[in-house]
Amino acid sequence: MSIRERMSGNEAVSYAIKQINPDVMAAFPITPSTEIPQMVSTFIANGEMDTEFIPVESEHSSMSAALGASAAGARALTATSSCGLAYMWEILYVAASDRLPIVLALVNRALTGPININCDHSDSMGARDSGWIQIYAENNQEAYDNFIQSFRIAEHPDVSLPFMACQDGFITSHAVENIELLETEVVKNFVGEYNPENYLLNSQMPMAVGPYANSPFYMETKYNQRMAMKNAKKVILDVAKEFEAISGRSYGFFEEYKTSDADVAIVIIGSAAGTSKEAVDKLRENGIKAGVLKIRVFRPFPGKEIAEALKNVKYAAILDRAESFSAYGGPLGSEIKSALYDAKSNCTAINYFYGIGGRDYTVEAAEGVFEELIDIMNGNKEIEQFKYIGLRQ
Amino acid sequence: MDKSIEIRWHGRGGQGAKTAALLLADVAFNTGMYVQGFPEYGPERMGAPITAYNRIGDKPIRVHSNIYNPDYVVVVDETLLHSVDVTKGLSKDGAIVINTTQDKKEIIPLLKGYEGRVYTIDAHKVSMETLGKYFPNSPMLAAIVKVADIMDKDVFLSEMEASYKHKFAKKPEVIEGNMNALKMAFEEVK
């Protein structure tokens, strides 16, 4: 039986953590993720869970403490946002190469310069090459569901990689909405116990974690990380199938919303996907074949599958919520264009930027993008790459 | 209620406009509706103008943007009428509810020609008479529930009583005052 509730995205993730009851959580507060360690430490203080909570003096330390705990054999996690993730940078790469299945509840926020506490994806997109699995949520429900699936994916012996469970700062983290929760026993059974094959506290099998690896070894380590990331694709889908059996909610690499017969589509990550779906329904009332491809899994990148999903789409707008300053596209735009090229796709991709630093993205903004795609399709407009949506000029 | 409504709250940091929006989401949720309650975030400063939002309806809510064309607006602090364009985008088929000690005819000229319904309530008076302190959010919550006809008065009061009992489990002495504030606000909003 699912439990009808209403809560914010941060509450939903905290509740999932309580239900999973991991061994160790280390955290340092930063807006808008602060509520997660705050709520979890309250649950612990109230005796509702018995996770060992380590308050640390910085994010470099919270990731280091999670890494130490995970290496010792514990199920470990942390939470952060923005500059907190930036301050973890060094240890993100160590966690991935040490193959430690740490879970990080990331509440996406713009990186500083200028200071900004609102949502964009520059924090996690900056860490896209650090070797972490990245899964994004549209709303509080998906933040909860993704989190429950996170440890299963990260800890799978074929994967053994750290996992970033991302949701949009404030937009979902602080918005109270309806949600269907699972019973705690169901969650516990689904997630199961963590029994790593190798761990530091196993005196029967001593091991080294994070040793020096010079050129005869380093490249093989990276290759193994890549193979693990490749393996994660199957595991993500297998875990999603099992999750559907307990929840009735199905997940994949992405959600295809009315894309099968669409002439034009928006490809987007996170909370703005729902707003874009609303625009699709409005346009379809006027006979315009529009659709939305919502990317859930960004690492590993399901390039072939995305190209396949877009094969009948004539013009796709790829919307990035993070700059890359290559001056030749954002992270999502560049990778999808590369995937379409490899697939020899006839779909023309146009890369836009939106929502940077929390700039609001409305149904009307999404309609504007679709209308532009229609104009391009009908030959009434030239393609303009890398436009900023809603830029004040 | 058979359609989705959108509500925008204007208040000042520390007055409880965000709390009122979340309470409204709670009570609507408890009566079976789909809800969204969220504040517009910026630096948190006591006394600075803040905005909070509600979407309430009988279908799942997918949109995650601020609200630019609300059906209803609630103004928790009347001094905002001079500095914030509170009726901006407000549907003329909807209404605005303003917390003020002034007469409605003195307020209307400040609303930039808004053609919809205008309601006022002296939440200060309601709050002082029922709670002995100035907490405008309970009276304003009752006022918008009545004006927007979000739910039946008796259902609202019984849901709020349950919610206060939960919220004020450690201070049960404030429950009666808050309930009286809601009841009085239902009569006072005009």
Query: Tens digit of pLDDT for each residue in B73-112?
Result: 999 999 999 999 999 999 999 999 999 999 999 999 999 9
List the structure tokens of A389. Answer: 């949506």
Q: Do A275 and B29 touch (CB under 8 A)?
A: no
Q: What is the pLDDT of residue A322?
A: 98
Percent of chain A with pLDDT over 90: 99
**What total of structural domains would you count in chain B?**
1
State the Cα torsion B45-A12-A105-A359 to the nearest 10°: -50
The reply to whether A151 and A64 lie within a common domain is: yes
Query: Please, are residues B48 and B65 in contact by the beta-carbon 8 Å criterion?
Result: no
Does position B2 have pLDDT exceeding 80, yes or no?
Answer: no
Query: CA-based Rg of chain B, rounded to a whole angstrom?
Result: 15
Which residue is closest to A274 within chain B, CA to CA? B62
Does position A204 have pLDDT exceeding 80, yes or no?
Answer: yes
The reply to whether A212 and A277 lie within a common domain is: no
The reply to whether A227 and A306 lie within a common domain is: no
- Mean of pLDDT values over A13-19: 98
* B24 has a chain A CB within 8 A of its CB: no
Q: Do B64 and A172 touch (CB under 8 A)?
A: yes
Q: What is the number of CB-based contacts under 8 A between chain A and chain B?
A: 60
The reply to whether A357 and A283 lie within a common domain is: yes
Of B26, B29, B41, the CB nearest to A174: B41
- Mean of pLDDT values over A308-333: 98
Identify whether A97 is part of a domain: yes
Q: Which domain holds residue B22?
A: 5-188
CA end-to-end distance (rounded Å), chain A: 52
| A78-117 residues touching B, CB cutoff 8 A | 117
- Mean of pLDDT values over B150-166: 93
| HEC-encoded secondary structure of chain A | CCEEEEECHHHHHHHHHHHHCCCEEEECCCCCCCHHHHHHHHHHHCCCCCCEEEECCCHHHHHHHHHHHHHHCCCEEEEECHHHHHHCHHHHHHHHHCCCCCEEEEEECCCCCCCCCCCCCHHHHHCCCCCCEEEECCCHHHHHHHHHHHHHHHHCCCCCCCEEEEEECCCCCCCEEEEEECCHHHHHHHHCCCCCCCCCCCCCCCCCCCCCCCHHHHHHHHHHHHHHHHHHHHHHHHHHHHHHHHHCCCCCCEEEECCCCCCEEEEEECCHHHHHHHHHHHHHHCCCCEEEEEECEEECCCHHHHHHHCCCCCEEEEEECCCCCCCCCCHHHHHHHHHHHHCCCCCEEEEEECCHHHCCCCHHHHHHHHHHHHHHHCCCCCCCCCEECCCCC
Query: Please, are residues B97 and B189 in contact by the beta-carbon 8 Å criterion?
Result: yes
**Domain edge (last residue) among A211, A226, A247:** A247
Measured distance CA(A354)–CA(A350) in Å, rounded: 13
Alpha-carbon gap: B8 to the closest alpha carbon of chain A (Å): 14
* B48 has a chain A CB within 8 A of its CB: no
Does position A228 have pLDDT exceeding 90, yes or no?
Answer: yes
| pTM recorded for the entire structure | 0.97
Q: Rounded mean pLDDT of chain A?
A: 97
- Taking contacts as CB-CB distances below 8 angstroms, the residues of chain B near A116 are none
**Domain edge (last residue) among A217, A247, A277:** A247
Q: What is the pLDDT of residue B46?
A: 87
Alpha-carbon gap: A382 to the closest alpha carbon of chain B (Å): 29
Nearest CA-CA partner of A180 in A393, A3, A1: A3
Of B22, B35, B68, the CB nearest to A178: B35
Q: What is the pLDDT of residue B43?
A: 65
Q: What is the pLDDT of residue B7?
A: 98
**Long-range contact set of residues A191-200: C-beta below 8 Å, sequence gap at least 24:** A191/A20, A191/A148, A191/A151, A191/A152, A192/A152, A194/A23, A194/A74, A194/A75, A194/A101, A194/A151, A194/A155, A196/A73, A196/A155, A197/A157, A199/A71, A199/A72, A199/A73, A200/A71, A200/A72, A200/A73
Q: Which domain holds residue A224?
A: 3-247
The reply to whether A166 and A286 lie within a common domain is: no
- 3 state SS of B75: strand
Does position B42 have pLDDT exceeding 80, yes or no?
Answer: no
Measured distance CA(A304)–CA(A385) in Å, rounded: 23
- Mean of pLDDT values over B42-53: 85
- Mean of pLDDT values over A65-69: 98
- Mean of pLDDT values over B140-166: 94
The reply to whether A196 and A63 lie within a common domain is: yes
Site from A139, A171, A177 to mutate, B interface, most B CB atoms within 10 angstroms: A177
> How distant, in Å, are the alpha carbons of A312, A315, A351 from that of A385?
21, 12, 6
Identify whether A151 is part of a domain: yes
The reply to whether A227 and A267 lie within a common domain is: no
CATH number of the domain to which A298 belongs: 3.40.50.920
Q: Do B36 and A175 touch (CB under 8 A)?
A: yes
* A271 has a chain B CB within 8 A of its CB: yes
Measured distance CA(A31)–CA(A21) in Å, rounded: 23
- Taking contacts as CB-CB distances below 8 angstroms, the residues of chain B near A168 are 64
**Domain edge (last residue) among A222, A247, A272:** A247
Q: Do A178 and B62 touch (CB under 8 A)?
A: no
Identify whether A393 is part of a domain: no
The reply to whether A287 and A188 lie within a common domain is: no
Percent of chain A with pLDDT over 70: 100
> How distant, in Å, are the alpha carbons of A283, A290, A362, B69 from that of A258?
12, 7, 19, 27
The reply to whether A288 and A305 lie within a common domain is: yes
- Mean of pLDDT values over A363-387: 98
Query: Tens digit of pLDDT for each residue in A26-58?
Result: 999 999 999 999 999 999 999 999 999 999 999
The reply to whether A341 and A381 lie within a common domain is: yes
Identify whether A357 is part of a domain: yes
- Taking contacts as CB-CB distances below 8 angstroms, the residues of chain A near B62 are 274-275, 277-278
Does position B1 have pLDDT exceeding 60, yes or no?
Answer: no
- Mean of pLDDT values over A98-112: 98
Does position A119 have pLDDT exceeding 90, yes or no?
Answer: yes
CATH number of the domain to which B104 belongs: 3.40.920.10
Site from A6, A139, A171 to mutate, B interface, most B CB atoms within 10 angstroms: A6
The reply to whether A266 and A283 lie within a common domain is: yes
**What total of structural domains would you count in chain A?**
2
Q: What is the pLDDT of residue B166?
A: 85
Query: Please, are residues A240 and A252 in contact by the beta-carbon 8 Å criterion?
Result: yes
Give bridge partners of residue A284 from the DSSP assignment: none
List the structure tokens of A237. Answer: 């889908």
Confidence of residue B15 (pLDDT cuts 50, 70, 90): confident
Measured distance CA(A319)–CA(A343) in Å, rounded: 20
Q: Which helix (H) or strand (E) covers residue B96, if one does?
A: strand B95-99
Q: Do B62 and A278 touch (CB under 8 A)?
A: yes
Percent of chain B with pLDDT over 90: 84
Which residue is closest to A276 within chain B, CA to CA? B63
Of B22, B43, B62, the CB nearest to A277: B62
